[in-house]
Structure 1
Amino acid sequence: MRRTTACLLLATALACPPLAAQDPGKASPEQVAAMQAYQRAATPGPAHAGLAMTVGDYTVSIKSWSTPGAEPTVDTGTATRRMLLDGRVVAEELRASMGGQAFNGFGLTGFDNVSGKYWSTWNDSMGTGLTVAEGTCDAAARCTMQAHWNDPVTRQRTEARLAIRWESPSVEVFEMYAAGPDGKEMKMMEMTYTRK
């Protein structure tokens, strides 16, 4: 996928040579519009500044449910968040335990200026697949995202609803809801991040 994206960007760059290298009077209106669109898409804005405020080190409390109404399994861990790509993307590294096993994960979160939506990806040591999510956040930093991944048992696409909220400048709560054994939505996981 990265190679395909790189090829598309290269093809676009070759089709629309940088305006700085051209006489402005020789650039077509289409070339000018294309370059301006790419510049708008690439420029970090207020949403990216908001993401940057999540950078730091955290302790993490993890609650997991396998069936509705059951007592959750509780685990702990730590997370570090840092900015990448000159303030465009947040990277998170999680080190924790889950069910007595090491649970390490890596995620990316960003805001797409083109779609106007937040996005995230997640990989962890409990699988080799990728979870992809997209959604929106309100002015109070409450976010709702739709996520999907490939289920190891059914080998089918599984969907979930993610809810993220900041209870204070130092505490973030992440919740994941998906279909339970009866097919109805249930809370599967809750992770509370507390800034160190």
Structure 2
Amino acid sequence: MGQEMVSEGTEENKMLGQVWLVSSFKGEFGGEVFEGRGHVGYDPASKQYVGSWIDSMTPVATQMKGTYDPKTKAMTLQTKGVDMQGKPSTGTMTTVYQGTDKRTTTMHSMIDGKKVKVMEIVYQRAAGK
């Protein structure tokens, strides 16, 4: 795949009622300004977590659905959307919660029929937040 890049950003999360977690992300990606918005909530009818993601580099919303495993403290969401070239894309986004102040999200996409790790994000709560 491509060369590894490191970048920084900030994310603010707020609850919308007691149902939806709404996220706003700002940072840079590949030297470009990057902004994204997401929401995730629990759908009692389907008994799974659902949500979507939009950002400043992708023309179509990514849809997500999946589960949370309390033993491993991991949420695994199946994703469906388009890649940065506008081609249909499916993948997996797994977030592991390491206490209340840290989490790691790993994203994999299906590329040419193979599961490929495309991104890993380590989140750390800002001091005093």
TM-score (norm: length of structure 2): 0.89
Other structure's SS at 2:121 match: strand
Partner of 1:100: 31
Partner of 1:145: 77
What RMSD, in angstroms, separates the aligned Cα atoms of the two structures? 1.6
Q: CA contact under 8 A between 2:58 and 2:82: conserved in structure 1?
A: no
Alignment of 1:44-193 (within 5 A): 67=1, 71-84=3-16, 86-140=17-71, 141-151=73-83, 153=85, 156-180=87-111, 182-193=112-123
| Alpha-carbon distance between aligned partners in 1 of 2:82 and 2:3, rounded to the nearest angstrom | 26
Other structure's SS at 1:147 match: strand
Could you list the structure 1 runs, at least 4 aligned residues long, displaced by more than 2 angstroms after superposition. Answer: 150-153
Letter in 2 for 1:189: M
More helix by share: 1
Change over 3 Å in CA distance of 1:152–1:99 after alignment to 2: closer
Q: CA contact under 8 A between 2:24 and 2:38: conserved in structure 1?
A: yes
Other structure's SS at 2:59 match: coil
Structure 2: gaps of 5 or more residues: none
TM-score (norm: length of structure 1): 0.60
Q: CA deviation at 1:152?
A: 5.6
Change over 3 Å in CA distance of 1:160–1:106 after alignment to 2: same
Q: Deviations over 1:117-169 (max 9, x none)?
A: 0112100000221000100011132111110003464x553100111101222
**CA radius of gyration, larger in:** 1
| Alpha-carbon distance between aligned partners in 1 of 2:57 and 2:95, rounded to the nearest angstrom | 22
Partner of 1:7: none
| Alpha-carbon distance between aligned partners in 2 of 1:152 and 1:100, rounded to the nearest angstrom | 15
| Alpha-carbon distance between aligned partners in 2 of 1:73 and 1:132, rounded to the nearest angstrom | 25
More strand by share: 2
The 10-residue stretch of structure 1 (117-126 or 134-143) with the greater mean CA deviation from structure 2:
134-143
Q: CA contact under 8 A between 2:104 and 2:123: conserved in structure 1?
A: yes
Change over 3 Å in CA distance of 1:142–1:188 after alignment to 2: same
Identity score, percent: 27
